[in-house]
Amino acid sequence: MDNNYNYYVIFKPYGVLSQFSRPEPHHKTLADLGFKFPKDVYPVGRLDNDSEGLLILTNDKSLNHQLLNPSFEHRRTYAVQVDGQITDEGINRLENGIAIKVGKTTYQTMPAAATLLTDGIGLAEREPPVRFRKSIPTSWLELTLIEGKNRQVRKMCAKTGFPVLRLVRIRIENLLLDGMQPGDVKKMDGKALKKLLGL
């Protein structure tokens, strides 16, 4: 039964840690979103301080296991703004897998789905804004992975020669950001959430 469980979906803003504890006084955390979460709720997985987008919070430990265990292969989709106009070759390399460093070892990423986005993605501007340089264009792509190594998307894109400027997780399976704005919190019914996540 889900009666004693709480489920929240948030749009984690840039510059906010995926945790409630504050390592240093200047750090922003989930406690700064202005929402009173129950004390036993915690994030499922994490987004880096400089990444944004979908983050699930719950006190349901089974959800944590089902979403984070690599054997379940849950799809996570990111909108990625990169420095430069990414090439077909760059897209192909992302799709076919790239050797990246994970800790001290070299890791070959699994095949991914990568698509160039040509008409923007309708996201709110980031605060602070991404740096703008007239002489160098930027491009957006959609990247879907079924694994989540530390800073994997950033490492993959850097290896193609197109470093990440902005990274937003927009989808986990069939759970979408769906018009949410940075800092938004949405309480969800457990059954509805699990259905969207394919659980």
Alpha-carbon gap, residue 149 to 94, rounded angstroms: 15
What is the predicted pLDDT for the residue at 2?
A: 54
Whether residue 46 has pLDDT greater than 80: yes
Q: What is the dihedral of CA 156, 29, 195, 142, to 10 degrees?
A: -30
Catalytic residue among 32, 48, 50, 184: 48
Q: Is residue 1 part of a domain?
A: no
- Tell me if 56 sits within 8 A of 127, measured CB to CB: no
Do 113 and 156 fall within a single domain? yes
Alpha-carbon gap, residue 179 to 8, rounded angstroms: 16
Alpha-carbon gap, residue 183 to 95, rounded angstroms: 31
Q: What is the pLDDT of residues 68-121, one digit of tens each?
A: 776 777 899 999 999 999 999 999 999 999 999 999 999 999 999 999 998 667
Q: Is residue 187 part of a domain?
A: yes
- Tell me if 143 sits within 8 A of 80, measured CB to CB: yes
* Residue 141 φ then ψ, to 5°: -135, 160
Do 79 and 168 fall within a single domain? yes
With residue 91 as reference, give the H or E element that holds it.
helix 88-96
What is the predicted pLDDT for the residue at 136?
A: 83
Q: Please report which confidence band the pLDDT of residue 1 belongs to, taking 50, 70 and 90 as the band edges.
A: very low
165: number of Cβ within 10 Å:
18
Instruction: Residue 114: name the closest of 90, 132, 83, 98 by CA.
Output: 90
Which domain range does residue 49 map to? 7-69+177-196
- Tell me if 80 sits within 8 A of 167, measured CB to CB: yes
Q: Is residue 2 part of a domain?
A: no
Do 134 and 47 fall within a single domain? no
Whether residue 45 has pLDDT greater than 70: yes
Count structural domains, the chain. 2
Do 61 and 122 fall within a single domain? no
Catalytic residue at 48? yes
